[in-house]
Amino acid sequence: MEVRTCKECKKMFNYLAGPPICPSCKDKLEEKFQEVKEYIRENTHDGITEVAQATHVSANQIRRWIREERLSFSEESGIGIDCESCGKMIKSGRLCQSCKDKLLGTVDNMLKGSESIVEKKHREAARMRFIDK
């Protein structure tokens, strides 16, 4: 067992996993999360800064929740965070759709060294047809 100092209250606690926050601070943060979620639902036009001020949660923490896809602003609010790759505004997560696609394309290209999944499926389908005859 590992003992760490809580990032929030500086108390020592038995560290298990995740962010270095003690169980009681984690509970408090979870309560805050529900509060923020509720607030955003009722105040759809507030920006991150306004939400942070109203709920007494740091803007960074709110952004973190958005990155973790736990929190997102409504479509019509026009509020979001920047794509980590191209800076385009996104609603939640780390990357916009086109960067996600690009990333997937890169992974696909890496796999192509042997055989792409699509090609493999085609080959298998062809073989099935052959067996059918």
The correct pick among 43, 61, 85, 92 for binding Zn ion (CB under 5 A) is 85
Give the range of 17-25, 46-54, 74-82, 117-125 binding Zn ion by CB under 5 A.
17-25
Residues 6+ apart with CB under 8 A from 93: 66, 67, 69
Residue 51 or 81 with smaller CB distance to Zn ion? 81
Note whether 81 binds Zn ion by CB under 5 A: no
Tally of CB atoms within 10 A around 120: 12
One-letter amino acid identity for 120?
A: K
Any contact of residue 99 with Zn ion (CB under 5 A)? Answer: yes
Contact 51, 35 (CB under 8 A): no
Where do contacts with Zn ion occur on this chain (CB under 5 A)? 6, 8-9, 22, 25, 83, 85-86, 88, 96, 99
